[in-house]
Amino acid sequence: MYRALLPLASLLLAAAPAASADDPYLWLEEIEGPKALAQVKEWNGQTEAVLTAMPGYEQYRARALAILDDEQQIALPEDVQGDQVTNLWRDAKNPRGLWRVSPLAAYRAGKPEWRTLIDVDALGRQEGKSWVWHGADCRAPDYRRCLVSLSPGGTDADVVREFDPVTARFIDSGFTLPQAKSNVAWADADTLLVATDYGPDSLTTSGYPRVVKLWKRGTPLADAVTLMTGEKADVSVSPFSVMDGDTRWSFVVRGKSFWTRDMYLLAAGRLVKLPVPDDADYQGVIGGRMVALLNSPLAAAGRTFPAGALVAWPLADMAAGKAPAPELVMAPTERQAIEEVAASDNVLWVKALDDVSGQLFALRRGAGGGWTSARIPLARNNSVHLVETSGKSDLAFVTVEGMLTPPSLYAVTPSSPPELVQSLPARFDASKFSVEQRFATSADGTRIPYFLVRKKGVTGPVPALIHSYGGFKAAQTPTYLTGQPYRAGPLALFWVEEGNAYVLANLRGGGEYGPRWHEAAVKEHHQRVFDDLQAVAEDLVRTGVSAKGKIAISGRSNGGVTVGAAVNQRPDLYGAVISGSPLGDMKRYSHLLAGASWIDEYGDPDKPDEWAYLSKYSPYQNIRPGVKYPPVFFYNSTKDDRVHPGHARKMAARLKEYGNPVYYHEYMEGGHSVGADHAEDAKRAALLIEFLNRVLPGR
């Protein structure tokens, strides 16, 4: 689920509404209420008592931690800053991380020369805070000042402090923002664009800031000049700045809804509204042109640009108040989706999916107009991730990996073969396993892709674990088994090693095939997500991979809606459920934390016509007495200030009330990402594999 901006203090102090006849568990919404926390600790204790006593638990946990903490990991570039590159390094000695810097040339050669800038663990001990790294925005082009964001315990809310990377010290008199879900950007060396909690009436209903100000160095924040105030009903108003060669462009985005926004350019001290479609997604700036991804067809200049295409507009003309015609940059094929875009000085780098397989393209604009595209030769049938770019050298850092192929990092230029920077050693013997892409047929005839991993020689039916998401345009691409599913450590590896089947499903609602794949499952069409998951499960049964009742399903965040609704609709088909940081109560979701920002995805439960379709699948409301549900494992975090922990708590309570087996584990830290460090992720992996071993038929 996407990040939302609501002050942490208001989350922790807000009292839950009184219980009602139709919802006796409202008291579990009081995040840190004594009664609610006592219940959570009781459930945690029950789960740990059972699962940590399983004979293989400690072996799983220790092995998971060894894999996650292995120092043979790729030091991914967090940011390329001129001739330097930064990285956040986490291992057993540094669970919260070392933020460090190396000369770019040494890094590219695979022999980085690291200098530590911030030891996050040591800083936390020194300041008595459980700091979790949230990144740094270093001011180009000299990179002499950085805005460092640190979160207490992993919440989305963080503090922002100005930092000098040369002396590796925070600046006592520098820019500082107190804990909130702020968005800040450099306007120039002594000016910030700041969206934060300015006090009463400065937040939207969704909990995001709605006020952006210009803050001059050496002045109090209270004296900052207001640039824009959005509407209360907006999702957010936020600034950002990008470098285009030596030119800094600063923008303010007014998010009118989750999927629509107005974009403004800061020009000569004033905001100029840009004439671009409000549902287009900004992707970058190159050569004075702003590039955006279309989510619906655009008729302009006597032609129609298709949904899913990249188009560009000249910024100078728009800054002058003109409405120039867009130009086509790249249009995907029917099987493709443009997923990631990044610019260097002269090259627009585009990562696309082709039937969910990653491809990388380098695009250039000709002197007289028109764009040319060259495909970069990378290993086929793998996931490709565009990590970072370097400006003047037109360099891109790209990772390539598959379920059985460990990640490799490449340095890529448009005119030479990719250079291997670092490749991870194999964590397991891939020759023992097979991976294949298959397609199921959903209820309406749509072809649904999924990836299947099994041990060679194993004949079905065997227990299967399906992981899925199905929302927010987020494509689910296959990655190395030591990190599958997300935030569950090497659960998938443990699972297939023991002869079971692991499946990654590409349900509608995601971005696997571009805007159409997402739009097909929005609002009143969301039932298609559950139909797609059911189709994949039934395809496993039909092809003899698994059997009805031997299939576990897994999802987190929006994926919690997916598995919650799916098991309500077909409790006979599934044998176990893993639900992480889930949404569950779709009647109240829009009133809990960041929930109001997702109305464009699901619908508004306060509108009778929209509750009519939400009510048909809302996981919490559709738990029925007298139905035998398979065992469910809920995991989440008390400090999750994005998806309210009350969703998981209330679903657990309702299932227990009706006599169903529930395993529950709530971390006190970690935020929406759940785990604050590798130790927590390793423990979760061990708990989940032992849960599956204990409850799934055939184990």
CATH code of the domain covering residue 42: 3.40.50.1820
Instruction: Kindly give the parts of the chain with pLDDT less than 70.
Output: 1-21, 673-676
Q: What sign does the CA torsion over 408, 405, 582, 255 have?
A: positive
Spot the catalytic one: 468, 672, 673, 678.
672
Spot the catalytic one: 250, 357, 557, 618.
557
Identify the CA nearest to 155 among candidates 3, 319, 359, 370: 3
What span, in angstroms and rounded, lies between the C-alpha atoms of 303 and 282?
Answer: 21
For residues 642 and 156, the answer to whether their CB atoms sit within 8 Å is yes
Is 205 domain-assigned? no
For residues 634 and 664, the answer to whether their CB atoms sit within 8 Å is yes
What span, in angstroms and rounded, lies between the C-alpha atoms of 529 and 584?
Answer: 15
Is 340 domain-assigned? no
Extended strands (E) in 584-694: 632-637, 662-667
Is 657 domain-assigned? yes
Is 267 domain-assigned? no
pTM above 0.95, yes or no: no
Q: How far apart are the first and last CA of the chain?
A: 33
What span, in angstroms and rounded, lies between the C-alpha atoms of 565 and 612?
Answer: 15
Angle at alpha carbon of residue 290, lines to 289 and 292, rounded to 5°: 140
Is 380 domain-assigned? no
For residue 602, give its domain range: 8-66+429-695
What number of CA atoms fall less than 13 Å from residue 414's CA on the CB side? 20
For residues 257 and 235, the answer to whether their CB atoms sit within 8 Å is yes
260: which residues sit within 8 A by CB, 6+ positions away? 278, 279, 600
25: which residues sit within 8 A by CB, 6+ positions away? 19, 649, 650, 653, 654
Give yes or no: 678 in active site: no
Give yes or no: 672 in active site: yes
How many Cβ atoms sit within 10 Å of the Cβ of residue 317?
Answer: 15
- When divided into structural domains, the chain yields a total of 1
Pairing outcome for strands 632-637 and 662-667: parallel
Is 582 domain-assigned? yes
**Which residue has tokens 């779709």?**
586
Maximum C-alpha span of the chain: 71
Q: What pLDDT, on a 0 to 100 scale, did the predictor assign at position 154?
A: 82
**Which residue has tokens 């990402």?**
673
Helix orientation angle between 34-51 and 678-695, rounded to the nearest 10 degrees: 60
Is 13 domain-assigned? yes
Q: List 243's β-bridge partners, or say none.
A: 248
Is 554 domain-assigned? yes
Q: What pLDDT, on a 0 to 100 scale, did the predictor assign at position 4?
A: 35
CA 425 from chain centre, in angstroms, equals 26
Q: What pLDDT, on a 0 to 100 scale, did the predictor assign at position 87?
A: 98
Q: What pLDDT, on a 0 to 100 scale, did the predictor assign at position 18?
A: 53
